[in-house]
Amino acid sequence: MTQSSARALIVTADDFGLHPRVNEAVERAHREGILNAASLMVAAPAARDALERARRMPSLRVGLHLVLVDGNAMLPRERIASLVDAHGRFGDAMARDGVRFFFLPHVRRQLAREIRAQFDAFAATGLTLDHVNTHKHFHLHPTVLSLIVEIGRDYGMHAMRLPREADAPLLL
């Protein structure tokens, strides 16, 4: 096998920053050689702990795990009121939200604002952006995907995970 045709297995842990126990598991798995990348939820409750751990593990490739469903928003509710509940959290109605993203321009503008805010928060960590993906694979929605690609260019995004089931046809 030539060097140009060699493949590498990338093992990534999502939800880095969700909880100290998740962060501990990521750190342990990386130190034991099981995983080589993690996706950081910048607005999650244990994001600061995850960042401290990532800085102690310079060989861990860290990406942005955008949260647009079932989690905390980065921006205050007033800036993205059509996206979050009274507590500033995204709901879990992905089908409904996907329709709203596609058909409602004001909702799409708020979505773009939140995506940019999460990229800004990641940039503020000083970590190198390795990759981008989303919580619950919401980046597979065409509106979400197009906004991430457009905004991600401003932050040097060069890789995004596109999940594929072994038996399913590739739609992207």
Handedness of CA 134, 135, 140, 146 (dihedral sign): negative
pLDDT at 167: 66
Domains and CATH numbers, the chain: 3-70+118-155 (3.20.20.370)
pLDDT tens digits, 28-56? 999 999 999 999 999 999 999 999 999 99
Q: What is the pLDDT of residue 172?
A: 47
Q: pLDDT above 90 covers what percent of the chain?
A: 81
- How many CB atoms neighbour CB 128 within 10 A? 10
State residue 137's pLDDT score. Answer: 86
pLDDT on residue 44: 97
**Among the listed residues 156, 70, 79, the one whose alpha carbon sits nearest the alpha carbon of residue 112:** 79
Which element (helix H / strand E) includes 83?
none
Start-to-end Cα distance in the chain: 28
pTM: 0.90
DSSP state of 154: G
